Structures are given as C-alpha cells and as structure tokens.
Structure 1
Amino acid sequence: MASPGTTAALIGRVRAFGRRHSLALTIVGSLGTLALLVFVLSGRRQQFEDALSSAAPAVLVVTVLLQIVALVSRSEAWHLSIEAAGGTVGRRVLYRASSMQVLGGVLNGQLGVAARIAALRRSSPVVSPQVPTLIAAEFPILAVEAVLAALTSFTLVAPLGLPWWLPIVALAVIGTASAGLRQLALSEGRELWRGLAIARRLNHGSRLVGFVLIAVFAQIFRNWMMLHAVGVQASFFDAIAVLIAVVTLGQLPIGPSVGAAAAVLILGSQGVAAAAAAGVLLTVTGTVGGLCFAAWAGGDTLWTGTRWARLRHARRTQEP
C-alpha cells in the first residue's frame, strides 16, 4: 500500500505534467471525444442533421441572449468579490477582463480563469489585488455553484444509475468545504485570504449569491429550451443534470466537445442523435454569446482609448 507521501508526490507529478502539456492534452482529449461521438452517431447522420435543423432561429437567438446574461451576471459576482477584497477596479474594466475567459474557456475552464486574471492584472495593475487574492476571489463564486450542484445532484441518479445516497454524501462534503472556506475568510493578513473577504460581508455575500443564481438559471433555461427545440422531451431536472455534466466534464481536457458529450451522457437514452444535436447547438450558441461579450469588450476598449487620446490632445492644445 502506497504511503500518503508517495501518493501526494504522484499527484504533484501528474498536475505538473498536466500544466506543462495542457494544450497537447486538450487537443488529444478533444479529438478522442469527437471520435467517440462520431462512433456513437454512426448510422444516425440523418437523424442528427434533422435535429440540428429543427431548432427555430428564435430559440437560437434567445439561447445566445441567455448566455450573455449568464456571463454578465457571473462577471458582476466577480466584481463584488474583488471589491470586497479591496480592489477598486472599475466595473467596465473588470467586465472587459472577464470577457477573456470566454476565449480561453473554449479550450479549458481553468485556462479561461487564468486568462481573465492575467487580463485584469495587465490592464489595472495598480487598483486590482495581487494574483493570489484574485485567485481566492473565485472561491466564493465556486462555492455557491458547488452548493447548488450538490443540492441538485439527485438529478444525476436516474440518468447515470448512481446510488441514491451519493447526493447526500456530495452535499455533506460540499457543505463541510464551504464551512471551512468561511473559517478561512475570517483569517486576515495574507493576500490569499483577502480574496475571501466577501464571505465576511452579509450584504455583499447575498448579492453575490443572487448574481450566481441568475447566471445558473440562465444556463438551465438555455439547456431546457434547446433540448425541446431539437425534440428531446426533457424536464427541468434533466436540464439541470445536463448543466452539472457540462461543468463536471469541462474540468477535463476535452475542449468544445463537452456540450455534446454531456447531453449524450445524460439524455442519450431518449435519442442519441437529438441529444448530441442539442449539445452541439448549446456549444455554438454559447460560443456566439461569449464572442458577442468579447466583441463588446474590444469595442469598449477601443472607444475608451480613443476618448482618452482626444482628451489628451485637447489638453495639449489648451496649454499655453
């Protein structure tokens, strides 16, 4: 039996390997998942194409808008967390940095978080907290999302054939971890713990929970609408299960195939072709919504830069 020290060292080596070869692992994982989906859909090409074409344009537009709502709401939650940690970054500046997560998140969720933290530090190094604080500022948001996932994890029992008691264990584990996070939030002095400061403020904390709930429900309604649009008679609980599966599989290096893989995993029994089509359309509309958010950020950056350039020029011309 391996000793705890040996196990910890092995885990450390695996993580180091993953960091060094993250892009290669994502490419291999994406191609592998895509190949598996192609195999599962073999002989169902016409059904898949029919399901893709059955989604009404209005549904596609609404799901794009819901994705934007989710991105904006989560960005506002991040703004509240950073503000509580002592950051004085303007909302628009932070939103522009948050849009970078969209581009990085297409390949990997962790890469998206790193991209927006790096963008914020690059754009506002003076008024934004240090990197450890920014990393910790993610934890309260993740904790709320984890609690919501644990509370609704019973939706996975039937689709995946899980034991009925597993959601209870998950809720206990997540609840204990959240309580520990609360205790860490009461610690002061370190840059890392400063990022948890919002857990000490009831008003800010409740607002953060509210914005996270808006983001989560926007994603659930996206799933529910798209599943019905392609002919899958999914319940609201099914839509929740798909979201949990997307988030969970998103931690793996499987790239843009995560939506289709999650939908097939949860609802493949109701029709593999239709479930895969819903997953593909969710990925496409989610990406379009993210690109719209990123396009706004790019346009706002250019407009702000042009405005400051005009102000500097006006000041120079007024100087004697």
Structure 2
Amino acid sequence: MPDATAQPPAVPSSWSRLTAAARRHQKAILIVGSLVTAGVILALLWKRRHEFGTAISDVPLGILVATSALQVLGLVGRSESWHQAVRAAGAKVSRRVLFRASAMQVLGSIINGQLGVAMRIAALRKSSPEVTPKIPTLIAAELPIVAVELMFAAVGSFTLVGPLGIPWWSPIAAFGLAFLIGWGMRRLSHRSTHHAWAGLTVLRHPRGAALLTGALIGSILCQVVRNWMLLRAVGVDASFWDGVAVLIAVASLAQLPTGPAAGAAAAVLILGSEGVAATAAAGVLMTVTGTIGGLIFAAWSGGDQLWAFRRARRAGAAPPGA
C-alpha cells in the first residue's frame, strides 16, 4: 500500500532546466555565440572593409607596443590584487608562484572571463595544494575583487547614458547597489565563521583592502588608457571617458558567449556613431594588444617556472610551487 505521507518528486522549474541545459552545452553555446557576434561585426564591416583595413594599417607600431605594455602592467596589478585577497584568506604561497598561476587566467580569458578565473584557481591549487586554501575559499577570495570592479563600473556608468540612452538615474542606482554589495560582503567577512567565507578576510583589514583596491584601480586605469590610445590611433575623436565606457562594455560583453569579438562589439556599441570601421578596428586592436600582452605575461610565467625548477634541481630540492 503506498505511503500516504510520501512527498511527490520535485518537478524541476523551467529556469532550473534551462540552466542545466546551458551547463551541459556550454562549449556549444560559446562557439555559436562567438560565431554570431563575429558574423554581426563582419556584416557591419563588409561594405567598409577597405576603411577598416586602412584604419588598422595606419596605427603606428609604437602605439601597439605601448598598449601591449599597458596590458602587461594591468595584468600585474590584477595579479597583485588577487595576491592580497588570497594571502589574507590564509595562503602561504609566494607572490611569484601566485603570479605564475594568475598567468593562466590570461589564456582562459581570451575565450571567456569566467573560464579565466576558473583556470587560475585550478592552477594555484595544482601547483601549491599544501599552502593554499580549498577551492570554495579561493572562489570567495574573488568576490572582493568583483566588488571593487562593480564599484568602478557603477561610478563610470554615467559614460553609458549618452551612447546607450539609459536613464540618467541609472548610474546612481548602480552605485547604490554596488555599495550595498560591498557593505554586505564586509559584514559577512566579520560575522561568518564558515571556512568558505575566509576568502573575504581581506575586507577586515584596512591595509590589505587598500592594497587590493589600489592595485586593481591601477590595473583598470591601464585598460582605460589603452582603449583611449587605440581609439585615437585609428582616428576616433575619443575622450578618456569614452575609454571608460568601452571598458565597461567589454567587461559586460565578456560575461556573454561573445568570444574574442567582444572588443570590437563593445567599441561599435559605444562609439559606432563615430564610424563603424574605425571603432571596430580599435576594438580588434584592443583584443590583439590584449592578447599580445597576455602572452608576454604567460611567457614570463613559463620562463620563471622553468628557472625555478632548474635552480631547485641544482640545489637538490623540490622546485617551489611544483
């Protein structure tokens, strides 16, 4: 006889089924989204392809070198902010080992920003499992960095009012929301005793929080200046604030399956009225110089790892972080 007290099996909601399907087909979604984004950009540029080629070819080599260097500096700043968060969470890993793990984010972020974060966490755990916190703590250590980025995006979101036609009060609401998120994280860091939330420990210490914020703001400014230089180099009459708007748009589009075309899509979205060919060229160069800078940082990581391995081998000890 059936048990009258037995509960019927839970029926998954439509949202649950949708998110489960998205996880199962994540790679396919990324590929399709990247192709669609690239296809839209290509369609917009087809009649202007000569202008596009001219805009790219006219950019001086010195600008490309300088903007690639700014990307390297930005990655160093972002790695330092992560170092502050992870060290406060209890990691005893050296800065150099952590920077080498951070270089893995560069490779993943070419495809998707979230993949880059996952790759650097996995690289750090694999290289130094004995002296780094567990993965949930490392994930929580990303949240103070996200909070600072949200605050910057909220402060700079006034630059989107004109290009995107969003309501004038949107930046005020965004700032209020970002402030509440940051405040909530700080309260949680003081109150929660769960080991996973140890990743928020940096928010308890003014010096660590200041160093994290300063390094991250420096990194963000490098990105803004890089955007501004490339926009000006292709002939777009862009201001510093246009560079801010493009950076916010790139960061937003990077959360979607847009792939490497996110830079061009963001530039056209914000400044397309200044000329689709020129702005798309600037966006492509943002991706190119960003990739070059990232590969330089990754090459340093590989070379430093090899140097540490050889030095430890000559000393007869295990290489640090191996």
Which residue is 1:174 aligned to? 178
Match of 2:103 among 91, 96, 99: 99
> Between the two proteins, what is the percent identity of the paired residues?
54
How far apart in 2 are the matches of 1:267 and 1:259? 12
Question: How big is each residue's C-alpha offset from its partner over 1:267-316, in whole Å with a ceiling of 9 and x where there is no partner?
Answer: 00000000000000010000000001001111111111111111118xxx
Among 58, 65, 69, which residue is 2:62 paired with? 58
Structure 2 counterparts to residues 79-158 of structure 1, below 5 A: 79-158=83-162
User: SS in structure 1 opposite 2:316?
Assistant: helix
The aligned runs of 1:200-211 (5 Å cut-off) are 200-211=204-215
**Residue 260 of structure 1, aligned match among 261, 264, 283:** 264
Q: Which runs of 5+ in 1 are unaligned?
A: 1-5, 314-320
TM-score, normalising length: structure 1? 0.94
CA shift for structure 1 position 141? 0.8
Decide which moves more: 304-313 or 196-205: 304-313
Distance 1:15 1:124 in 2: 33
SS in 2 for 1:251: coil
Q: Which runs of 5+ in 2 are unaligned?
A: 1-9, 318-322
Aligned counterparts of 1:100 and 1:259: Cα–Cα separation in 2: 20
Matched, 1:196 2:208: no
Partner of 1:318: none
| Residue 190 (structure 1) shift | 1.4
Question: Could you say which residue in structure 1 is the equivalent of 2:225?
Answer: 221
2:302 equivalent in structure 1 = 298
Q: Residue 129 of structure 1: SS of its match in structure 2?
A: coil
Compute the TM-score of the two structures, normalised by the length of structure 2. Answer: 0.93
When the two structures are aligned, how many residues end up with a matched partner? 308
Check 1:191–1:18 CA distance in 2 against 1; reply closer, same or farther (3 A cut): farther
1:97 to partner: Cα distance:
0.4
Match for residue 13 of structure 1? Answer: 17
Q: Which amino acid aligns with 1:105?
A: S
- Provide the residue aligned with 1:272 in structure 2: 276
Over the residues paired in the alignment, what is the CA RMSD in angstroms?
A: 1.5
Shift of 1:171: 1.2
Range 302-311 or range 113-122, more displaced: 302-311
Structure 1 residue 239 corresponds to structure 2 residue 243: yes
One-letter identity of the residue aligned with 1:86: G
* Matched AA of 1:163: P
Q: Which moved more, 1:216-225 or 1:186-195?
A: 186-195
Contact 1:108-1:250 within 8 A present in 2 as well: yes
Q: Take 1:174 and 1:118, find their aligned partners in 2: how far apart are those partners?
A: 28
Q: Structure 1 residue 245: deviation in Å?
A: 0.0
Counterpart Cα distance in 2 of 1:167 and 1:11: 29
Partner deviation per Cα, 1:243-273 (whole Å, 9 max, x = no partner) = 0000000000111000000000000000000
Following superposition, the deviation at residue 26 of structure 1 comes to: 1.0
> Which residue identity lines up with residue 22 of structure 1 in the other structure?
Q
Give 1:24 deviation, angstroms: 1.2
Q: 2: CA distance between counterparts of 1:10 and 1:69?
A: 44
One-letter amino acid of the structure 2 residue matched with residue 217 of structure 1 = L
Question: Which deviations, in whole Å up to 9, do the C-alpha atoms of 1:37-95 show, x marking residues without a partner?
Answer: 01111210110001001111000000000000000001000001011111111111100
Counterpart code for 1:30: S
Separation of aligned partners in 2, 1:308 and 1:93: 14
Q: For residue 29 of structure 2, what is the aligned residue in structure 1?
A: 25
User: Does 1:187 pair with 2:185?
Assistant: no
Change (3 A) 1:182 1:12: farther
Tell me, yes or no, if the aligned pair for 1:187 and 1:193 is still in contact at 8 Å.
Answer: no
